Amino acid sequence: MTSQINPPPRLLMGPGPVDADPRVLRAMAAPLVGQFDPFMTDTMTETMGLWREVWRTVNEQTFLVDGTSRAGIEAALVSLLEPGDDVVVPSFGRFGHLLAEISERAGAHVHRVEAEWGSVVDPDRIAEVARRVRPRAIAVVHGDTSTTMAQPLDALGEIARETGALLYVDATATLGGNVFETDAWGIDAATAGLQKCLGGPSGSAPITLSERAAARIRSRRHVEAGIRSADDGDAPGMRIRSNYLDLAQIMDYWGPRRLNHHTEATSMLYAARECARLIGAEGVGARAARHARHGAAMVAGVRGLGLETFGDDRYRMNNVVAVHIPERLRTEPGAGDAVRAALLEDFGIEIGTSFGPLHGQVWRIGVMGTGARRDAVLATLAGLEHVLRRAGIGVPAGGGVDAALESYGGHADGGGAEPVLQGAGPAEPEGDV
């Protein structure tokens, strides 16, 4: 008989998924309740509130899509975009392509505004195209994990309003580890996934929708045949192409009507609730600062090893850094992957490879969720130093760890235990049972 699951111990320092907070994993082991049990519907409502804090929004329509991050992306785009709609997609990496691809499959006309990988898109170019096209939406990635760059978003809300567009943002890789201001930046729709800075497993996609976006979605509401009642007239807009990702129906399920749609993935709901609860306890701002501090230490550390970072420093995400694979390894087939494999095998530490034009060119190292802590950063740098040296690359002894320690040095709180660690953190406030 096959054995029960028994994963090897790992320290996940790639671009995600990263290690989930053990408290989140334990929350998933809680027993199920029925779909319309008062405890269940109360928990859904409570979870909406907890996520509003994370998103920094007052949006009523703040909930979960049951799927991975790209389910959230597709739910937003297929519900907002009708076939024939125009959409402007700034693109500076793989996930910009993904937004374009999903929009195309939804039948929209895509107007790409591209920038070279390693940089971001000039907002003036976005404005110029949006003024010309007057699109239904502008759809943009915040942090594109493929390049580690974060697009500045603060100017885009105004461009969207000026041009009559809705602003959609893919915050999968940044939310919970970088400053993200749904309301202050005028974002109409944003989605994420739990497996990066948010400290959970993949499989649940938090989403938030402004009243403008929600109204657009409601204008396309068509309740499905098996459950519609006499007063469920069809809205004038075109029926949304997907049933599973139909946000009009999902809003009715999370809203006071509790109209049956899918069966909410209860264990993932518990996980998403616990992620948001822990983020709220740490403080959204404190958590972004923690990611910035440990991310900066990793950048200093890889440079201290003599490695070159990829991309424009001004736009670097807090939580993932790409480093050029040393020349000698880059040219020898398989050598770059062999170094990653040695790090996994000898130290149990995972770092990431990359896609498209960067494939074979850079490694990507993540510092996020519980991984945004001092011992994880230092252990990764120490391990990397060893495997690079064994691969014949000249690296200064202790150069990575020393540089990271120096980066921490100036901050009184730079290296200490972080509240994210259970045991090491402050006791849970009284009243938490």
Ligand X SMILES: Cc1ncc(COP(=O)(O)O)c(C=O)c1O
Residue numbers at the binding site for ligand X (CB under 6 A): 16, 68-70, 95, 141, 144-145, 170, 172-173, 193, 202, 262-263
Rounded Cα distance, 34 and 182, in Å: 33
Regarding 423 and contact with a copy of itself (CB under 8 A), the answer is: no
Among 57, 61, 66, 140, contact with a copy of itself (rule: CB under 8 A): 66
- Assigned token pair, 206: 């938090």
Least separation in angstroms between residue 342's CB and a copy of itself is: 14
Among 230, 397, 427, 433, contact with a copy of itself (rule: CB under 8 A): 433
Sequence-distant (6+) residues with CB within 8 A of 398 are: 385
Least separation in angstroms between residue 244's CB and a copy of itself is: 5
Least separation in angstroms between residue 204's CB and ligand X is: 10
Residues recorded for the chain: 433
- Residue 237 Ramachandran class (φ > 0 left, ψ -120 to 50 alpha, else beta): beta
266 vs 36, 202, 208, 273, CA distance in Å? 11, 14, 19, 10
Give 25 or 417: the residue with its C-beta nearer to a copy of itself: 25
Rounded Cα distance, 291 and 415, in Å: 13
Regarding 195 and contact with a copy of itself (CB under 8 A), the answer is: yes
Regarding 379 and contact with a copy of itself (CB under 8 A), the answer is: no
Q: Which residue has the tokens 């420093």?
A: 313
Regarding 230 and contact with a copy of itself (CB under 8 A), the answer is: no
Binding partner of residue 141 among ligand X, a copy of itself, none, CB under 5 to 8 Å per kind? ligand X
Rounded Cα distance, 208 and 250, in Å: 12
DSSP 312: -
Binding partner of residue 26 among ligand X, a copy of itself, none, CB under 5 to 8 Å per kind? a copy of itself
Q: Which residue has the tokens 């790209």?
A: 70
Among 16, 118, 123, 311, contact with a copy of itself (rule: CB under 8 A): 16
- Residue 373 Ramachandran class (φ > 0 left, ψ -120 to 50 alpha, else beta): beta
Q: What are phi and psi of 82, to 5 degrees?
A: -90, 155
Binding partner of residue 170 among ligand X, a copy of itself, none, CB under 5 to 8 Å per kind? ligand X
Least separation in angstroms between residue 157's CB and a copy of itself is: 26
Give 72 or 336: the residue with its C-beta nearer to ligand X: 72
Among 102, 129, 138, 153, contact with a copy of itself (rule: CB under 8 A): 102
Residue 117 CB-half CA count within 13 A: 20
Least separation in angstroms between residue 222's CB and a copy of itself is: 9
Least separation in angstroms between residue 423's CB and ligand X is: 29
Rounded Cα distance, 79 and 213, in Å: 9
**Binders in 317-336 for a copy of itself, by CB under 8 A:** none
Sequence-distant (6+) residues with CB within 8 A of 259 are: 223, 227, 249, 252, 253
Rounded Cα distance, 6 and 169, in Å: 37
Least separation in angstroms between residue 332's CB and ligand X is: 28
Give 194 or 344: the residue with its C-beta nearer to ligand X: 194
Q: How many residues bind a copy of itself (CB under 8 A)?
A: 99
Q: x/- contact string, 156-175, with a copy of itself (CB under 8 A)?
A: --------------------
DSSP 369: G
